Amino acid sequence: MQTLEQLKSGQLLGIKQLKLAEGLTDFPMEIIELADTLEVLDLSGNSLSELPEALEKLTKLKIIFASNNRFTHLPDVLGKLPNLEMVGFKTNKIKTVSEASLPAQLRWLILTDNEIETLPNSLGERPRLQKLALAGNQIKQLPSSMKNLVNLELIRLSANQLECFPNVLTQLPKLAWCAFAGNPFCLHPSSLDSVPKVSKSSYSLNHVLGQGASGVISHANWLDLDYDFPNEVAVKVFKGEVTSDGFPQDELEACLQAGQHNNLVKSIAQLDDVTELALVMELIPDSYYNLGLPPTLDTCTRDTFPAGFSLTIKQITLIVEQMIDVFHHLHDNKVCHGDLYAHNTLVNAQGQMIFGDFGAASIYGYLSQEQQTAIRTIESRALRFFIDDLLSVCEQSEVGCHEYQRLAELHI
């Protein structure tokens, strides 16, 4: 992160990336002097509400972040930037997104946790758009122009005010990751009693194992002798507010609706407390590791892997077989995971797999049969991408072998 003092003194001339978070209430005009080189501008965590028209001089700008500010509208000047691909204005107070505010080269739009009710028709006129994050707004319907988003692969629509399932999603040829829970049209499941409700005194939290957008997972000891649970468990305490994927309550419901499967993180109890949401799960052995890494700004929707990482075709086949079984199990239980990725998958040295993270999951058994079939088709594309991503790290000596070709041509 750079400083305002460095910017004003001219020390930052020639830089490609600038990040300023100093409680700014006014846009520092010295940023315009970086027009010859600046590609990434991050103004998140300030108190800005406007961007100047002079911003259009930043013709090389590709990415702009302005999350956690005070914008009430998406600035129109963004639509004038010829190379702007990624726009992130999460957690502002944005109510309006005008027809003119979306750049022509838009590939990734993040407007999570705002107050948007209506989206412009111009959204459907951005053919490069791949990733669209709109969870936590007040959107009541999607513009019909969205049927033209032929390259859209990921969409987050949870925690809005949609009164019916947006059928336009079923027309998108590349859509693979979709989340829509927490809208008025969504019906709640009857699976919430599938695991017992327990009190906080049933366990004692120890060290943190990990955390994400929706909550913190901790190692815990089980204390309640009324239940035959392992001594060591994991407890996820949800943060309570809307996340980039939706409401924590919907994540918990999807976990329970998914039921039990050897390759899913096993839920064994839920906290019975009106002030806090928590899920008790079986502890995953330390021998398991993350199969992949999340997408980057460059890959947008596709997973990445550590440098030098590879898998044998035998390992890939075993993992794929398990994931296909999980896929069928989830959809038999009418759960769309919404985030079927290698980075949400744990494996051990033997290739045994555990799949989790239901933050983007949506229950869909209440929809029409045609809509249910469409949702399954959408997530089957994510499974296809998952297989392709694993094949991309196949050991070079096995690329093109018979099993490699079979997996490459596999129809889900």
DSSP single-letter state for residue 214: S
Sign of CA pseudo-dihedral 218, 224, 225, 227: negative
Both 266 and 224 in one domain: the answer is yes
Both 235 and 214 in one domain: the answer is yes
Among the three residues 259, 282, 305, which one is the final residue of a domain in this structure?
282
**Residue range of the domain that includes 383:** 289-408
Among the three residues 248, 282, 316, which one is the final residue of a domain in this structure?
282
- Say if 66 falls within a structural domain: no
pLDDT over 90 at 212, yes or no: no
Give the C-alpha separation, 332 to 353, whole Å. Answer: 20
Both 313 and 339 in one domain: the answer is yes
| pLDDT per residue as tens digits for the range 379-410 | 999 999 999 999 999 999 999 999 999 999 99
Any idea what the CATH number is for the domain that residue 245 is in? 3.30.200.20
269 confidence band (pLDDT: 50, 70, 90): very high
Both 294 and 404 in one domain: the answer is yes
pLDDT over 80 at 359, yes or no: yes
Among the three residues 282, 305, 321, which one is the final residue of a domain in this structure?
282
The reported pLDDT for the residue numbered 4 is 93
Sign of CA pseudo-dihedral 239, 213, 246, 198: negative
- Say if 243 falls within a structural domain: yes
| CA 88 vs CA 71, 73, 134, 158: distances in Å | 12, 13, 11, 17
The reported pLDDT for the residue numbered 214 is 84
Q: What is the arithmetic mean of pLDDT over 77-101?
A: 98
pLDDT over 80 at 189, yes or no: no
- Say if 80 falls within a structural domain: no
Give the whole-number percent of the chain exceeding pLDDT 90: 91
- Say if 381 falls within a structural domain: yes
Both 219 and 276 in one domain: the answer is yes
Both 360 and 263 in one domain: the answer is no
Number of domains in the chain: 2
236 annotated as belonging to a binding site for a ligand? yes
- Say if 219 falls within a structural domain: yes
Closest CA to 381 of 339, 350, 412: 412
Both 295 and 264 in one domain: the answer is no
| pLDDT per residue as tens digits for the range 129-176 | 999 999 999 999 999 999 999 999 999 999 999 999 999 999 999 999
Coil, helix or strand at residue 129? coil
Give the C-alpha separation, 317 to 410, whole Å. Answer: 11
Both 394 and 309 in one domain: the answer is yes
- Say if 352 falls within a structural domain: yes
- Strands (E) across 276-334 are located at 278-282, 289-290
Both 275 and 373 in one domain: the answer is no
